[in-house]
Structure 1
Amino acid sequence: DMGSSDLAVPRKQSIADCATALGPNARYYSSADTVADIDLLRQALGDRRITLDGVSYGTFVAERYALAHPAHVDRLVLDSVVPQGGYDPMDLIALPATARVLRTACQATGCTTDPAADLATTVQKYGNGAQILDALTSYEFADPNYGGVPEALHEAAGGNPQKLQSFIDDVHKNDAAPAELLSQGLHAATLCADGRYPWGSSDTPVAGRAAALERTRKNLTAEQTWPYDPATATGLGSLLVCLDWPREQVPPLPPAHRKLPNVPVLLLGGDRDLSTPYEWLYQQAKLTHDPQVVIVPGAAHSVQTRAANPAGRQAVYDFLLK
């Protein structure tokens, strides 16, 4: 149902079938369990301290490991950062970050329109914000310049949405991912065990969750979600996959504003990344002692492995050899 997307909305029956297949074992896929596994690995290796290099969700695991086992961390590389407080299921950072990312890409490629303003007009006309954000977030892996997107948004804002819809359809068609490469069941189990939502956590009774989500949508302002709308924030698959997830025990969260241990930390981000916008990186930097921050121009998600610009990889090389 979701391909390789974090944001596509699966069918309710698919969510129910997945949760039933996992049963009570779903709660053992939390990040707290992953952190415990990493420390068992450290012990088996016989190392007193380890260096962790995390990308995307891996940054969250590395941060949580450092908070749980500060004496066993030598240094951290955090690439495409999810802050230690966890991801925001309503993406209230990524929504406004879209304006910055599209304008930056547009300026670099010489387009003459304002894609952020056109996006806002398009969402207002067609109510398709969640589908657009999903497509853009997937497309960054193929083209960090978002080629063709400003033109499609400009036409849609002017009343001709065909090119934009074709773009969305093409992205989804090319976004398939077999379970062997990406288990959306594992992904959902982890999100639902870790996440904090408008209704609380997965330990909140299912019956009251939808009403809590609707109250949240009504209280969101246009300023919080521009260039999208409040319905976009409450219509993302990363949130809705947990709306009907069965009630389960969830691990406690670490203190929200506790700093990472005082070890060297390198934080990498791309200025075209919508999956983990660099605004998240700067949130985490505030909870880091003397952080080293590198923002790579022209890079989207996963700077070390995907960026054409080598600056991020060179920064890691230099950081690890200090």
Structure 2
Amino acid sequence: MRPGTLGLRVAMSRNAAAPKGVLLFLTGGPGQPGEPFAAKLSKRLKPLLAQYRLVLLDQRGTGATALDCPELQQQMGSSDLAAPTPQAVTDCGAKLGAHARFYSTADTVADLDRLRQALGVDRWTLDGVSYGTFTAERYALAHPRHVAKLVLDSVVPQTGYDPLDLDAMQAVPRVLGAACRAIGCGSDPAADLAAVVRRDHNGVALLDMLTTYEFVDPDYAEVITALHESANGSPGHLDGIIESVRQASAATAQELSQGLHAATLCADGRYPWGTSDTPLTGRQSALDAVGAGLTPAQTGPFDAATATGLGSLLSCLRWPREPVPPSPAPARRLPGSIPVLLLGGDRDLSTPLASLEQQRRLTPNARVVIVPGAAHSVQSWATSDVGRQAVFDFLMGG
């Protein structure tokens, strides 16, 4: 521990005596604040607000307290996958220095319980999206008696994310195939994608574009057309989509802090070289060895260079050595006393359904709802109301 204080912004509805208590909504990233989304979520969750008091938090290192690493921020924006330069990562790690170790999920979980105590509630309900699901799971494992219910939307399993993103790569043929059938595309988008990767060696850029484009159109209509054109020798349309998505991914540190993103993922993660306390010397050779052993069955229409070239992975490859924070045992299950809703979209490539299934195996008291045609962040982005209604029914039930 180090002396000092850190103020975190909190937004909450005024109904302090809500019959069902507090609903804490946890945003994603890591690096995304909560307080700026209060107005939007109040509208989205309006049917719940007669019964719940909605609370959102700017987790440490986000929003008003954002960790700002200008060059890393400029290079990655809101992306998990865009590859930063080694210098940008090194500069960010040097800027944060010894303070980088205080931004793990374990630190955020401790902050959440301080917030619970400050609100004067014994038990509350947590609704997490994307990385927010991981925070909610880790909170429930650390403080099970203080959790009434959990909503986990676009699930990151409690064991952590796969830094090689193999589940997403393997999900791409299924997702693009379903999208193709929905629009009657008449081509094989996965085969077209594989052909483009073999020719252009741009798997990272393509996977980054696909996981971002799902917010624009989970049917991928324009992307499927552009992939077919590119595979047949006309890459201009596809290159333009990749560039437009890259530009649209620009974000300030206050919108999504890449400094916090790196500090948290590198502290929490398990990588081909080990953990955050592994010496930097030898990390690259360990990553190279894993990459050399990857097979087409693991990488799908992509290649090994895609798996070993992703932005979050490369950030942590070069992140300064630091102690590993405490974490629960990998096989530990969520308490069966906590009802859990696992919510996902079948077009989600950011947190594919394989991640939800992994968490299901560790969740004894789980209700699972998969929304056809929906992608990432079902409650906020799905055009269908199926997922939102499932959340309302789950939270309003006994």
Q: Please point out which of 375, 387, 393 is paired with 1:312.
A: 387
Are the equivalent residues in 1 in contact too, given 2:141–2:334 (CA < 8 A)? yes
* Alignment partner, residue 252 of structure 1: 326
Match of 2:396 in 1: 321
CA distance in 2, matches of 1:86, 1:128: 26
Question: Which segment drifts farther, 84-93 or 44-53?
Answer: 44-53
TM-score normalized with structure 1 length = 0.98
Q: How many equivalent residue pairs?
A: 322
Match of 1:141 among 206, 215, 225: 215
**1:291-321 Cα deviation digits (max 9, x unpaired):** 1111111211110111110111101111011
CA RMSD of aligned residues (A): 1.0
* Cross-structure match for 1:84: 158
Structure 2: gaps of 5 or more residues: 1-74
Instruction: Give the alignment's TM-score, normalised by structure 2.
Output: 0.79
Structure 1 match to 2:175 = 101
Structure 2 equivalent of residue 261 of structure 1: 335
- SS of 2:343 mapped into structure 1: strand
Residue 134 of structure 2 is aligned to residue 25 of structure 1: no
Amino acid of the structure 1 residue aligned with 2:366: P
Structure-2 residue corresponding to 1:150: 224
Q: 1:204-242: per-residue Cα shift (whole Å, max 9, x none)?
A: 000110111101100111111011111110010010011
Which runs of structure 1 show a deviation greater than 6 angstroms over 4 or more consecutive aligned residues?
A: none
Structure 2 SS opposite 1:198: coil
Shift of 1:123: 1.0
For residues 108-136 of structure 1, what are the alpha-carbon distances to aligned partners after superposition, in whole Å with 9 as ceiling and x for unaligned? 11111111111112111211111100011
Partner residue of 2:189? 115
Q: How big is each residue's C-alpha offset from its partner over 1:137-162, in whole Å with a ceiling of 9 and x where there is no partner?
A: 11111211112111111122223222
Correspondence for 2:269: 195
Contact 2:137-2:334 within 8 A present in 1 as well? yes
- Give the whole-Å Cα distance in 1 for the aligned partners of 2:169 and 2:209: 13
User: 1:247 & 1:179 partners in 2: Cα distance?
Assistant: 23
Residue type of the alignment partner of 1:275: S
Residue deviations 1:248-293 (CA, integer Å, cap 9, x gap): 0111331111110111100110111111111111110111113111
Report if the CA contact (8 A) 2:153-2:343 is conserved: yes
Of stretches 119-128 and 212-221 in structure 1, the one that deviates more from structure 2 is: 119-128
**Larger mean Cα displacement after TM superposition, 157-166 or 204-213:** 157-166
Quick one: higher RCO (CA 8 Å, sep 6+), 1 or 2?
1
- SS of residue in 1 equivalent to 2:78: coil
Separation in 1, partners of 2:245, 2:103: 29
Deviation at residue 101 of structure 1 after TM alignment: 0.9
- Find the residue that maps to 1:61 and give its secondary structure: helix
* 1:185 positional shift: 0.5
Q: CA deviation digits over 1:163-185, x for unaligned, max 9?
A: 21111111112211111211110
